[in-house]
Structure 1
Amino acid sequence: TRLLHLHSRSVEIMVMLEKVLGITTQTSSALTCDPNTGQIAYPTGCVVVILNPRQNKQRHIFNTARKTVSALSFSPDGKYIATGENGHRPAVRVWDVEEKTQVSELHGHKHGVACVAFSPNMKYLVSVGYPHDMIVNVWDWKKGTLIASNKISSKVMAISFSEDSYFVTVGHRHVKFWFLDESREFKVNLSTVPLVGRSGLLGELHNNIFCDVACGQGKMSGSTFCISYSGLLCQFNEKRVLEKWIDLKVSLANCICVSEEFIFCGCANGTVRIFHTHNLHYLSDLPKPHHLGIDVAGEEMLRRPGATYSDTIALAFDPRHHWLCCVYKDHSIYIWDVKDTRQVGKVWSDLFHSSFVWNVEVYPEFEDHRGCLPPGSFLTCSSDNTIRFWNLENGTHVDFQKNIYSNNLLKIIYVENNTQHLQDLTNLPDRGENANYLDVKSGVRVMQVSPDGQHLASGDRAGNLRIHELKYMDEVIKVEAHDSEVLCLQYSKPETGMALLASASRDRLIHVLNVEENYKLEQTLDDHSSAITAVRFAGNGEIQMISCGADKSIYFRSAQKVSDGINFIRTHHVAEKTTLYDMDIDITQKYVAVACQDRNVRVYNTASGKQKWCYKGSQGDDGSLLKVQLDPSGTFLATSCSDKSISIIDFHSGECVAKMFGHSEVVTGMKFTFDCKHLITVSGDSCIFIWHLSPEITTCMKQHLMDLDQVQQQRKAREPVWPHQVRGGFLLPICALYEEFYVCFHVAHPDLPPLLLSPAPACVLTNGKLPMWAKRLLGEADNADTAAFNSRVSYQPQGRWAERAAKEPIKTMLDADLNYFTPIKNSSLHDSELEPQNLNRLLSEVRKVSLAQGRGQQEGNLLSWLSQPSPKKILLQTELSSELFLPFLPPRPWLCTMCQSDALVSEAETEMTDVEENFQQTSSLPQTPEQEKYLRNHFETLADAQEAALFQNPRLSISTRFLSSCQKNSRWADIYLYFQPSIRERTI
């Protein structure tokens, strides 16, 4: 049963944000504490997380404008929270904490809000804009009016209200005291007045960059404390005069926090120094957090000599419990109990990703508890060069018990033990304005868990493929697989009868590895002409591979067994008019859903390649669909759009049942959990969102799974159980066509050494899902999905060449294009060794073309050369067929058929895929500078050609060796040109 009424329900009811694993705080301006309850508030993209550390529970406030939250401040009574945001026409918003609703919206900035603060009497709210705004505003937030404003010539980084009627701003060579005269508000009759400000007397410290400020409390309410990047702690008196300053003796200082007794200074390398407020006497340091590269599952919290710690970037003090919240540069949070500075204890902590999160995978569940991870676990990978294992369940596991660092994090794998990318390099208060995306080629781009849960395959941005075994978390295999970043990894399902791993990359190649033979390379596919965005395995009992790419093509392939392994041949090719970014296959293996740039989801039949449905995948009118993910039952699919929204759509009807937002960057990965209760999304904002699905959606999924199980049980009861095998075939001698072809060629050129002296190799002809034209030629029934493979005798050839066919079905292969249907596996391209070789030797082999070597080549090399889809070779092949062979060969129709095979295949594929409907094309360009820059860096460039030359990369990857083999086999062209000078002159 379908829930057709779901789309009328509100998003809050259908899907709710349950938990956020991440933080986007960059300075203390985006970290605040409720002085009455001790709750901590911090931003996570477009969502404000209100954390109760004692109960480890979160509440969430959504910025309905979908702009990144850049500044936060609790009101003194804790009932309201003010937020600032960045982007076009940002607003200062005031929210009711209990109701989680907006109570005020104030517009007065153009580019972004750097910091906000309530006055002690809660009557006023102050906001400071980004440098291009150059303005500070004072609001009567309850009335929604601007009562005072002034220009600022410096970049302001922090603000603090004193218990008196003034506030202080600090920044680049800037310390300024601003005074509020309430009498002026009534004199000018509610019009905005200039805000009066006076600079602090810095003396010889005027060239410093002051990064944070805090006004004193209680007996020290007349003092103001500020800190500089250079590590200076300064104290100003009521007359704005610099009274004292001390050197913190650190390489860098970032933040400051003041209570009635203590001053806390956050510095580099995890240091937090504690001083007394009355005399600035040094007391002690807080305990340092975990060191970079910590094993959260095995190590205790001990200081290691020579270890590196993350910088402290934000502080917030809880006066009720005497707790200090510290945020570090690696996006970790610690809450310390500082009631006794000599015995500081940790109250709560968590560790998050510090950079783009590219992919998420849900660990499979097993009934016999043979999994390496506890039930409900999932994995994420990031540009911070880590793979993290999470679990939100409260149960315990023998190997993964709760650790002292995080209640949710089980394990961290540091790829190649590289920790230099763990600290966030975009630590800017106006990140949204500058959008400083550091496109370094580091980090894990994609990963996939094997169906048995024992192996984890991961691909990085440099093209390396790694295999980790999950029982002991050891790296067992590392292969230089590609020349560019790996974009997709996919294991084949157990139902297919084979254990394969497909690796696709921006270098437009797909490598197929045999898992059972220690990930031996089986085949390399080069059908795509641009970056491959997705590859999937499909089929029950038979293996299908489907891939899509930025070249707007979808390729359907079937597997066939050969004597030395497995080989994929192309069965269908669908050419679209829009870029294809992602795809997923439903549980029945019958349909594949593709996310398209025009915001449509196109659903194709995996057997025929024909389009089944096409519906809107995003409710907005801007952006492109980047990701699509089906739930475990195949009832709903989730899509992510470049406008940062997420939609849940009924897979069969195309109706949208829920739409969510909250990430500040595009969603790069999504997964439904196997219990059908949660949807996990990850984004470029470094955050992980866990969405709780409504009981209606969960019930619909489980009911569909039960229906499918009943159908499967009935089918098993009616049909005999056939053993799993991969496309059975039978061996035949090589085609007589090839024999006649070379005999005629040798007669025409007696000076050429004979090529057919050795016995002909065997080829495999399978009875799998061939194109319709090939099935008709082989005598199969018209219905490809139900008809069995007919015997050779049942086929009666027709046409002019019927006599020559002589009832041999292998002869019907003459109508197939050798470039697309090659029953002989190319031995020259097969390479089971994955160890690097010498690049100079490869290059020398490519460049060496010897006539003596060419005359000694056997027919296998010639067939290999003819099967390479190179433009030069295709041109030469055509010329050789028309000018070299035809004048000397008898006029036989089968030769003309072979020469026109490209056209026949193209016409047949066009007929198979001519079901596209006409859709109205709308603009899919990004509408904001942030979206445009992010898409250009990570998604739109997928369709760009490789900038580097073919062998400019010194890596000896599988892709490099494959391309070198292609060039090596091109020496046959020079052999033919030697015998035809006219052709040689034209080609050169």
Structure 2
Amino acid sequence: MDSHSKVASGICCVRPRSRRRTETTSSPVTLEKVLGITASGNSGLACDPRSGLVAYPAGCVVVLLNPKKNRQHHLINTSRKTITALSFSPDGKYLVTGESGHLPAVRLWDVAEQKQVAELQKHKFGISCVAFSPNGKYIVSVGNQHDMMVNVWAWKKDAVVAANKVSSKVTGVSFSEDSTYFVTVGNRHVKFWYLDHCKASKASAPVPLLGRSGLLGELRNNFFCDVACGVGSKSESTFCITSSGLLCEFNSKRMLDKWVDLQTSMAQSLSLSEDMIFCGCADGTVRAFSPVDLHFVCTLPRPHHLSCDVSIDTRYPDAIAVTYDPITRWLSCVYNDHSLYVWDVRDVKRVGKVHSVLFHAACVWDLEMFPDAPGDIDASLSSGAFISCSADNTIRLWRIEDQTQIYSHSQNIISSVSLDFIYVCVQDLLNIIYIDGNTNGQTAEVRTGIRTICISPDGKHLASGDRNGMLRVHDLTSMKEILKVEAHDAEILCLEYSKPETGLKLLATASRDRLIHVLDAEDDYSLVQTLDDHSSSITAVRFAGEMISCGADKSIYFQTAHKTDRGTEFRRSHHKVRKTTLYDMGVDPTCKYAAVACQDRCIRIFDISSGEQKKLYKGSISEDGSLLRVQIDPSGQYVATSCSDKNISIFDFYSGECVATIFGHSEIVTGMKFTSDCKHLISVSGDSCIFVWRLAPELTISMRERISMIAFIIKIQS
């Protein structure tokens, strides 16, 4: 943009004045909150026996959760590989992690400093399990079914002292209380590995790890999915769980001594203390047994239902990971719908819920900030609230600001128990809208997936489009569906409400079927016009005085609204073609410029009134991938981009200078939004996680100054 065009737009006097401060800040963007979990089994959940911190993976990030205060700290994997396994050291000072991908590393983290202190790269493929020895000297890591290696790492000496291969897939590992051996379990596999000869060895190279198979007897054909070595009076025993639902005990001679039927269709996880064994089973069931004689003790309360209509769907999510804190006597459970519960099991007859969070269970496709709309709007929605939609067929309403509640709101889907057992905790989730997936005779398991959402400027309506082309509109006051129509023949990729200042209340829907439908939001969403200018998928449509659309046909169309006898009609005013696919578009607050994210990793800035391209600069610091999303902050000073390499970058809108690059998601970032108070950037991803990033005060102050200046200029001009 030349200086003349900036003067003409009335924004030349609001250039960022704190550029120097922004450049010198050490961390322009920090991860503040993670709403998501990617643990797939017990190896992805751990509890610090000293502090009670619960650790679990969320993409490339380890979340360290304090359940009592609902506070998080984070360890971000600099290799940008997905965290698959983790375990605390016995003293709680360190955390060891394993990761997926080619040449993965076993990483050791200082929990207090939240930084990596050591790493081991001896696996060729992904790591399925990691564990600390009780004496703190060794770390054992087991590769996945493509790697099949077992390594024993003396981490203080930074040396692998023993290694061997396993012959089957391993899903669990546990050290004996005296650290002399550890046990791995998997498909028809229970094996005891001994470390005595490793300690005596002075060889520089790793010695072969000595292993002896457990004597499985008539259970030899079972899949052993988790293991825990006994403690205290049962330190010579080893407890395993089978996927078919058997709890087994092996004696000191590796013989299968006894077993008990868990009365479940499937079991997956195991956690053990001196006086209790907890088994995570199917359909939300967690059963407790005595380690002394394997006698049944109790069944824990089940979590929430998998549907809002319990009269039709009485299913519960499966418990896939459990970990026990012997100090507080709290049991943390992860379920296969990506929910996390912490139960107080001090009194097994009066089990209570300490903490619970319900995250998205699949790819999060889109998010929308709730507008600062005047009028009679629910206070919980209007203050820092945002809405996300997912392939799990749900739309979820979240709140950023922490507000303490004694118990769940009546509309909250989180199930509650007697008030006597509930601890005061913060609820991030406000509500869940379950979308009916049983259209056209589909079963409940066939999920359509909600592809995109948009909130009306007055904050009253929520429009959503799914992957089958179905358009739905919900009333956000009552949360009831007020419209459901098959608007398109293919998935709806974008929805957009018109701006209030235009005097029109329209909704535009754009789809992979090349069509844009313009609907009248004041007239029960009746059809106003259908536009078929594009020859391929439409990736974005925006209202900015004109209606602008771009797509996979490498075209950008500018449509101007005209009043006719038949009502409002859009006519093409400009049509521009580029040599690259246009994936997303954002409009600055003055509605003068549109920023387009392109396949060639460039941001192209178009003048909306003339349709001319004014500027082009790189929208990613990497040389790989494509730009998928672009988002302009409320002041129009910064633009955030997401690239297919999973990174997020923030650029100065005018100069194209990179202000910050952030990472942590393990899949592509499918949506981003700046909050209206300029304090946060929220990102959603294919890894099912929502990340809330806090912007540095320098960035926030700069944006707020510019917003004030724009408001002042508008006031003078009016």
- The alignment's TM-score, normalised by the length of structure 2, stands at 0.93
Aligned-residue offset at 1:308: 1.1
CA distance in 2, matches of 1:589, 1:161: 62
Q: Between Structure 1 and Structure 2, whose CA radius of gyration is higher?
A: 1
Structure 1 segment 781-796 matched on structure 2, within 5 A: none
Structure 1 segment 699-778 matched on structure 2, within 5 A: 699-716=701-718
Partner of 1:379: 387
Mapped contact 2:280–2:321 kept (Cα < 8 A): yes
CA distance in 2, matches of 1:333, 1:559: 49
Match for 1:380: what amino acid?
S
Mapped contact 2:22–2:698 kept (Cα < 8 A): no
Partner of 1:19: 33
SS at match of 1:516: coil
1:578 and 2:593 aligned: no
Unaligned runs of 5+ in 2: 1-14, 416-425
Offset from partner CA, 1:461-517 (integer Å, 9 cap, x none): 110001111110110111100011000000000111111110000111111111111
Q: CA distance change for structure 1 residues 401 and 306 in 2, over 3 Å: closer, same or farther?
A: closer
Partner of 1:315: 322
Match for 2:489: what amino acid?
D
Mapped contact 1:270–1:309 kept (Cα < 8 A): yes
Partner of 2:7: none
CA distance in 1, matches of 2:273, 2:479: 45
1:155 and 2:169 aligned: yes
1:415 and 2:435 aligned: yes
Q: CA distance change for structure 1 residues 382 and 548 in 2, over 3 Å: closer, same or farther?
A: same
Aligned-residue offset at 1:399: 12
Aligned-residue offset at 1:110: 1.1
Match for 1:280: what amino acid?
L
SS at match of 2:315: coil
Partner of 2:633: 631
CA distance in 2, matches of 1:480, 1:399: 35
Q: 1:391 aligns with which of 388, 393, 399?
A: 399
CA distance in 1, matches of 2:700, 2:410: 29
Mapped contact 1:88–1:110 kept (Cα < 8 A): yes
Offset from partner CA, 1:297-335 (integer Å, 9 cap, x none): xxxxxx989721110000000011111001011111111
Q: 1:167 aligns with which of 168, 177, 182?
A: 182
Partner of 1:142: 156
* CA RMSD, 1 decimal: 2.1
1:362 and 2:362 aligned: no
Match for 1:229: what amino acid?
S
Mapped contact 1:7–1:658 kept (Cα < 8 A): no
Partner of 1:124: 138
CA distance in 2, matches of 1:192, 1:243: 34
Partner of 1:552: 554
Mapped contact 1:374–1:400 kept (Cα < 8 A): no
Structure 1 segment 421-460 matched on structure 2, within 5 A: 442-460=448-466
Q: CA distance change for structure 1 residues 554 and 332 in 2, over 3 Å: closer, same or farther?
A: same
Partner of 2:665: 663
Aligned-residue offset at 1:402: 9.4
Aligned-residue offset at 1:561: 1.5
Partner of 1:606: 608
Offset from partner CA, 1:205-246 (integer Å, 9 cap, x none): 111111111111111111000011111111001110000011
SS at match of 1:706: helix
CA distance in 1, matches of 2:99, 2:588: 40
Match for 2:330: what amino acid?
W
Partner of 1:778: none
Mapped contact 1:680–1:690 kept (Cα < 8 A): yes
Mapped contact 1:376–1:392 kept (Cα < 8 A): yes
Aligned-residue offset at 1:186: 5.0
Offset from partner CA, 1:906-943 (integer Å, 9 cap, x none): xxxxxxxxxxxxxxxxxxxxxxxxxxxxxxxxxxxxxx
CA distance in 2, matches of 1:55, 1:532: 45
Match for 1:363: what amino acid?
F
- The alignment's TM-score, normalised by the length of structure 1, stands at 0.68
Q: 2:514 aligns with which of 508, 526, 532?
A: 508
Mapped contact 1:623–1:641 kept (Cα < 8 A): yes
Unaligned runs of 5+ in 1: 296-302, 426-439, 717-988
Structure 1 segment 110-509 matched on structure 2, within 5 A: 110-164=124-178, 165-182=180-197, 184-294=198-308, 307-368=314-375, 370=377, 373-395=381-403, 407-416=427-436, 442-509=448-515
SS at match of 1:498: coil
Match for 2:499: what amino acid?
K
Match for 2:173: what amino acid?
I
Partner of 2:419: none
Which has the larger share of helix?
1
Match for 1:549: what amino acid?
G
Aligned-residue offset at 1:370: 3.5
Q: CA distance change for structure 1 residues 93 and 396 in 2, over 3 Å: closer, same or farther?
A: closer
CA distance in 1, matches of 2:644, 2:225: 34
Aligned-residue offset at 1:424: 13
1:526 and 2:532 aligned: yes
CA distance in 2, matches of 1:194, 1:394: 53
Q: CA distance change for structure 1 residues 424 and 84 in 2, over 3 Å: closer, same or farther?
A: farther
SS at match of 2:710: helix
Partner of 2:23: 8
1:100 and 2:114 aligned: yes
CA distance in 2, matches of 1:304, 1:396: 31
SS at match of 2:137: coil
Offset from partner CA, 1:554-600 (integer Å, 9 cap, x none): 11111112211221111111111111110010011010000001111
CA distance in 2, matches of 1:370, 1:407: 20
SS at match of 1:13: coil
Aligned-residue offset at 1:410: 0.7
Offset from partner CA, 1:248-293 (integer Å, 9 cap, x none): 1211111111110111111000001111110001111001111112
Which has the larger displacement, 100-109 or 362-371? 362-371
Match for 2:157: what amino acid?
K
CA distance in 2, matches of 1:255, 1:158: 9
Q: CA distance change for structure 1 residues 255 and 36 in 2, over 3 Å: closer, same or farther?
A: same
Which has the larger displacement, 193-202 or 364-373? 364-373
Aligned-residue offset at 1:132: 1.2
CA distance in 1, matches of 2:41, 2:96: 16
Mapped contact 1:86–1:112 kept (Cα < 8 A): yes
- Count matched residues: 686
Offset from partner CA, 1:181-214 (integer Å, 9 cap, x none): 25x4554422110000000000111111111111
Aligned-residue offset at 1:34: 0.2
CA distance in 2, matches of 1:632, 1:64: 30
Mapped contact 1:514–1:520 kept (Cα < 8 A): yes
Q: CA distance change for structure 1 residues 306 and 677 in 2, over 3 Å: closer, same or farther?
A: closer
Match for 1:683: what amino acid?
S
Aligned-residue offset at 1:142: 1.9
Which has the larger share of strand?
2
Mapped contact 1:385–1:418 kept (Cα < 8 A): no
Percent identity between the two aligned chains: 60
CA distance in 1, matches of 2:41, 2:509: 40
CA distance in 1, matches of 2:249, 2:611: 73
Aligned-residue offset at 1:171: 0.3
SS at match of 1:517: coil
CA distance in 2, matches of 1:220, 1:396: 42
SS at match of 1:711: helix
SS at match of 1:697: helix
Structure 1 segment 843-854 matched on structure 2, within 5 A: none
